[in-house]
Structure 1
Amino acid sequence: MNIVFVEPHFPRNQREFVRALAEAGAHVLGVGETPAEYLDEQLRSWLGHYKQVRSVTDTDEMTAVVRRLQRLVWVDRLEATIEAHVLPAAVVRERTGIPGTSVRTAWLCRDKPSMKEALREAGIRTAASTAADSASQVRSFADRVGYPLILKPREGAGAASTSRVDTEADLEQALAAFGSSVTSIAVEEFIEGHEGFYDTLTLDGHVVLDFSCHYYPGVLEAMRNRWISPQYVSTNRIDGGGLYDEMRRLGQQVVEALGIETSATHMEWFHGPKGLIFSEIGARPPGVGCWDLYSNGNDIDVYRAWADALVHGHVGQRPSRSHAAGIIALRPDRDGRISGYSGLDDIQHRYGQWVIDAHLPEPGTGTQPVEAGYMANAWIRMRHPDYDELRRMLDDVGQSVQVHAH
C-alpha cells in the first residue's frame, strides 16, 4: 500500500506515524516543508520518497505534487495528523480521488459552530453556539443566551486565543482584543463542569480503540495562570461503566453524525450540573504526546494500531489498562531564561520507578509563554497502576518542583 503522509518531520512525534506505517508494510511517500537534507537517516529509512513543498496547507501546490506521485504509483491513502493540515488534506483527496476523510467531515471537525449545529441536529447535547462575523452578532448572541460565554477564533485549536467573558464589559474587552485580524468568531455558552477528553481510533465508522483523559484544572484556567502546574491524566478505569459508558455511547454517536470513517479522533467533553455535554472533536490524533501516554499505560503501540487500521483494515492490539498515565507541566516562575530547578532530587527519590520520562531544559534556555501549552517548558510524565495514587504523585510533583528563571 502506498500512503502519502503530510509533514513527516515536524513536530518530532510526526516521525512515529511514519515509523508505524513503515513497520505495517506501507510504502510511505512523505510531503513536507522541511528540506530533504534536514531529514535524519532513520526518518529517511522509513520514507520511500520525500518531496518538499512551500506549504502543506496550499491545496493547489499539494494537489499538483500528489498528482505527480499518482503518475508514478497508485496512491491508496493520503494522511494528515495535525489539526491545521486535516482540511487541506481532505480537499486534495477529493481532487485526486483518494479515499479518506471527506471535505464535509473535515470541515465539520474544524469549524466549531458548524460542528455543534450538525451535532444538535443529530440529537447530541452540546453548548449553545454561533458563528459571528461582526461584533453586533456577538452582542446579540450574548443578549439571547446570557453570560458567561466563550469566544475564540472560528478555526481556533485548543485554548489558543480563547476568552471567557462574564459581563458586558468583559465582552467589549475581548472583542477589542480580537481586532481586525479575526474576521469570524466562534461564540458559545460556557458549560460548568469537569473537563476531559475521549480519544478513539475508528475503522469504517466504528470505534475500535479508545482512551479517556481528565484535565486538572480545565484547559482555559490552566493556560491563563502561571502558578498552576496543570495535568492531564489518562484513566485505566474506562472499562468501569458509569460515566465512561455514557461517554462511549456519545462518542460513537458523534462519529456517525459527522461521517467519520477510518481515522483517529480527539473529542472534548464536560461533566457537571447539566450532565455529560459534548464540546468538540478533531478528526486527528490528540496533541502533546498523548498517544505516548496511552502506549505506556496500556502496553501497546498506539501508532502501530493506527497504521494497522489504515494498511490492513484491522486492529489486533488491545489495551491492557494496566496503568493510569499522566503529564504535569512545570512552569518557570517568570519569563526569561531558565536558571535552575529545585525539588527534583526529592521527587526522583520518592517516585523514580514511576517516571516515564521528563523534559527539563538546560539552564540558559529561553522560556516559553504559559499559553504555549503543556509541553512548552519543563514537564514530567508518570504512570501508576492506581489512578488516585498517580493523581496524588502528580500533585506532589507540582508542589515540590520549582522551575527558576531570571
Structure 2
Amino acid sequence: MNLVYLSPHFPHHYHQFCRNVKQLGANVLGIGDCPYDQLDPAVKEALTEYYLINDMHDYDQLVRACGYFTHRYGKIDRFESLNEYWLATEARIRDDFNITGVRGNDIDVIKRKSRMKKRFQSAKIPVAAGRLVTTVTAAKKFIKGVGYPVVAKPDIGVGALDTYLLHSDADLESFFASKPDAQYIMEEFIKGEIISFDGLADANGDLVFSTSHHFSQGIMETVNEARHIHYTSLRDIPPALEEIGRKCVEAFKVRSRFFHIEFFETAPGNYVALEVNMRPPGGFTTDMFNFAGDIDVYNLWAQVMVNGVAPLEHTRKYHCCYASRKNRYDYRYSHDEVIAQYSAFINSVVNVPGVFSSALGDVGYIFRSPQIKDIDDIVRFIHETR
C-alpha cells in the first residue's frame, strides 16, 4: 500500500500517524516544503521517502511529486494531510489520480458552511438560521427576522479567523466597510455552551471510537477577546448528543476519516448543530484521546488506512482536559506551582506554536482524572489571576 502524506512535519506531533502506517508495512511518502535536512529525525524515520517542493500552493508541483511516487512505487492508495487547510487540495489530487477518499464533488459540503447548513437541514438536524450575504441591504433583511446580535463568518474558513459578532446597524456598516474579500455567511446568534462529538469512522462508516468535549467558550470569543480556554472530554457522552452526533456522521457519509462536529447545547439534551469538520479536532486533542482512554489513536487511524477497519474495545477511563495560559495574563500561581500541586494528574505541558496561540494560548496543560471535580479544581488553579 502507498500512502502519500502532505506536509508531514506540521503539526509536529502528527508524524505519529505516518509512523504507525509505516509500521504496518505500507509505504509512507511525504510531500512538503521543509528541506529534508531540517526535518525532525522522528519525521524522517516515519517516512519511506520525502519529496521537497518549493510552494505547497503550486498544484503542478504536487502533481509532479505524485507522478514521481506513482512511477517509483505504483498506484497511490491514499492521499492525506489530516489538516483542514488542505482538504480541497486533497480532493483535487484524489480526482486526478483516482484515489479513494473525499473527492471534488464532495468537498463543498464539508468546506462551505452554507452547504453544511443545507445538509444538516436535509437530515432534520437543528441549525442556526443563516444565509449568504453580499450587501448591507440583504444583511438587514436577514437581521430583521432574527434580531441582533448576529455572527458573520467566512463561508469557507478555519476556526474563528475573520469572524465577527455584530450587535447593531453601526457594527454592520463597519463590517461591510472593512470586511475581507471573501464570501460571508450571516447567522443568528445562538446562546448556549459549545460541545462536540468527535471520533474516527472506518471504511464502512462504523465508529472505531467516539468521545465528546465540553468547551469553556467558543473559539470566536477566545480569539477575538484574547481569552484563555479550557475544554474537557466527558467520560459519558450524553445520550441525546450521541444520537444526534451519529446522525450527523451518517448524513455527511463519513468514511475512513476523523470527525469533529460542534454543537450549541441550548438546554440540557437540546443541541443545535454549528459545523462539521472532517479532520481530527485541533491542537493536541489527538493526544487527549489517548490519555482519556489509554488508547493509541495514531495506530487506530493507521489500521483504518491500511485495513479499512480497526477493532477496539474502548473504555473512557478519565475526563481529560486542556487548559491554556496566555502571556498577557498575570496568573496567581507560577508554572512550577502548578506542577508541584498537580503533577499526579498532568500528562503533558506543551508550548503552542505561534500560528495556534490565539486559540490555544501560549502554553497548554493536559491533565486527566476519573473525577470531574478534580478537573474543575485544576482548571481554576491554572487560570486564577492576580
Is TM (by shorter chain) over 0.5?
yes
C-alpha distance 16-360 of structure 1, shift in aligned 2 (>3 A) = closer
| Aligned counterparts of 1:288 and 1:313: Cα–Cα separation in 2 | 26
Q: Is the CA contact 1:105–1:260 (under 8 Å) kept in the aligned structure 2?
A: no
Q: Where does residue 181 of structure 2 map in the other structure?
A: 182
Code of the aligned partner of 1:127: A
Code of the aligned partner of 1:210: S
Code of the aligned partner of 1:315: A
Q: Where does residue 164 of structure 1 map in the other structure?
A: 165
| Number of residue pairs the alignment of both structures matches | 383
Q: Is the CA contact 2:333–2:381 (under 8 Å) kept in the aligned structure 1?
A: no
Displacement of 1:206 after TM fit?
2.5
C-alpha distance 56-254 of structure 1, shift in aligned 2 (>3 A) = farther
Q: Where does residue 250 of structure 1 map in the other structure?
A: 244
| Aligned counterparts of 1:370 and 1:341: Cα–Cα separation in 2 | 24
C-alpha distance 131-255 of structure 1, shift in aligned 2 (>3 A) = same
Q: Is the CA contact 1:57–1:84 (under 8 Å) kept in the aligned structure 2?
A: no
Q: Where does residue 222 of structure 2 map in the other structure?
A: 222
Code of the aligned partner of 2:210: D
Q: Is the CA contact 1:7–1:14 (under 8 Å) kept in the aligned structure 2?
A: no
Code of the aligned partner of 2:334: G
Q: Where does residue 281 of structure 2 map in the other structure?
A: 286
Q: Where does residue 389 of structure 1 map in the other structure?
A: 374
Displacement of 1:342 after TM fit?
4.6
Identity of counterpart residues, as a percentage? 25
Q: Secondary structure at the match of 1:303?
A: helix
Displacement of 1:383 after TM fit?
0.9
C-alpha distance 59-131 of structure 1, shift in aligned 2 (>3 A) = farther
| Aligned counterparts of 1:351 and 1:173: Cα–Cα separation in 2 | 46
C-alpha distance 33-368 of structure 1, shift in aligned 2 (>3 A) = closer
Q: Is the CA contact 2:283–2:356 (under 8 Å) kept in the aligned structure 1?
A: no
The runs of 5 or more residues in structure 1 that have no matched partner are: 239-243, 362-366
Deviation by residue 1:77-106 (Cα, 9 ceiling, x = unmatched): 111211110111011101111111122333
Q: Secondary structure at the match of 1:332?
A: coil
Pick aligned residue for 2:312 from 309, 317, 326: 317
Displacement of 1:71 after TM fit?
2.4
Deviation by residue 1:220-243 (Cα, 9 ceiling, x = unmatched): 2222334x43101111122xxxxx
What pairs with 1:10-25 in structure 2 (closer than 5 Å)? Answer: 10-25=10-25
Q: Where does residue 352 of structure 1 map in the other structure?
A: 343
Q: Work out whether 1:235 is the aligned partner of 2:234.
A: yes
Q: Is the CA contact 1:332–1:377 (under 8 Å) kept in the aligned structure 2?
A: yes
Deviation by residue 1:23-63 (Cα, 9 ceiling, x = unmatched): 23221011112122212333222211111223334434323
| Aligned counterparts of 1:12 and 1:113: Cα–Cα separation in 2 | 32
TM norm structure 2: 0.92
Code of the aligned partner of 1:259: K
| Aligned counterparts of 2:53 and 2:218: Cα–Cα separation in 1 | 37
| Aligned counterparts of 2:325 and 2:310: Cα–Cα separation in 1 | 36
| Aligned counterparts of 1:370 and 1:340: Cα–Cα separation in 2 | 21
Code of the aligned partner of 1:393: I
Q: Where does residue 364 of structure 1 map in the other structure?
A: none
Deviation by residue 1:6-26 (Cα, 9 ceiling, x = unmatched): 110122122122122122322
Q: Is the CA contact 2:235–2:316 (under 8 Å) kept in the aligned structure 1?
A: yes
Pick aligned residue for 1:263 from 257, 260, 268: 257
Code of the aligned partner of 1:233: T
Displacement of 1:257 after TM fit?
2.1
Q: Secondary structure at the match of 1:281?
A: strand
Code of the aligned partner of 2:279: R
The runs of 5 or more residues in structure 2 that have no matched partner are: none
Q: Is the CA contact 2:31–2:51 (under 8 Å) kept in the aligned structure 1?
A: yes
| Aligned counterparts of 2:47 and 2:362: Cα–Cα separation in 1 | 31
C-alpha distance 160-26 of structure 1, shift in aligned 2 (>3 A) = same
Q: Is the CA contact 1:330–1:398 (under 8 Å) kept in the aligned structure 2?
A: yes
C-alpha distance 15-172 of structure 1, shift in aligned 2 (>3 A) = same
Q: Is the CA contact 2:199–2:210 (under 8 Å) kept in the aligned structure 1?
A: yes
Q: Give the root-mean-square deviation of aligned CA atoms.
A: 2.4
| Aligned counterparts of 1:368 and 1:27: Cα–Cα separation in 2 | 32
Q: Secondary structure at the match of 1:56?
A: coil
| Aligned counterparts of 1:327 and 1:253: Cα–Cα separation in 2 | 27
Deviation by residue 1:317-342 (Cα, 9 ceiling, x = unmatched): 333311111111111236xxxx9995
Deviation by residue 1:259-289 (Cα, 9 ceiling, x = unmatched): 3221111111111149211110111111111
| Aligned counterparts of 1:385 and 1:351: Cα–Cα separation in 2 | 14
| Aligned counterparts of 2:49 and 2:136: Cα–Cα separation in 1 | 48
Displacement of 1:186 after TM fit?
1.8
Q: Where does residue 198 of structure 1 map in the other structure?
A: 197
Q: Work out whether 1:272 is the aligned partner of 2:271.
A: no
TM norm structure 1: 0.87
Q: Where does residue 80 of structure 1 map in the other structure?
A: 81
Code of the aligned partner of 2:245: G
| Aligned counterparts of 1:369 and 1:25: Cα–Cα separation in 2 | 34
